[in-house]
Amino acid sequence: MQVCCARVEEPAVETTIRPVPTDAAPSLTLMDRCDSCGAQAFFRATMPSGTQLLFCGHHGNAHRPALVAAGAALHDETDRLTIARESGFG
């Protein structure tokens, strides 16, 4: 009698990384730095792959059209800059 060893296919495991919804994302802190220039980050872009990019207000606004076109979820805290300036802390 001949025994055949058939390969059993394992069920596919989902490996897709889903970005955290921007409303559930934690606020950016003083430790978060712009990936372009190293300034304090006020802008987070979460790419469809789950990768997060951090930007200062200037670079966030400069890259916004390309990020939107790429399907990134955006979290913008640049309004904190205006609040700080109006309150005299900036």
Percent over 70 (pLDDT), the chain = 63
CA gap 90, 88 in Å, rounded: 6
State pLDDT tens for residues 55-79. 999 999 999 999 999 999 999 999 8
Predicted TM-score (pTM) of the model is 0.66
Backbone angles phi, psi at 19, to 5 degrees: -70, 150
CA gap 58, 72 in Å, rounded: 18
Backbone angles phi, psi at 79, to 5 degrees: -65, -25
The answer to whether residue 15 scores a pLDDT higher than 50 is no
State pLDDT tens for residues 33-52. 999 999 999 999 999 999 99
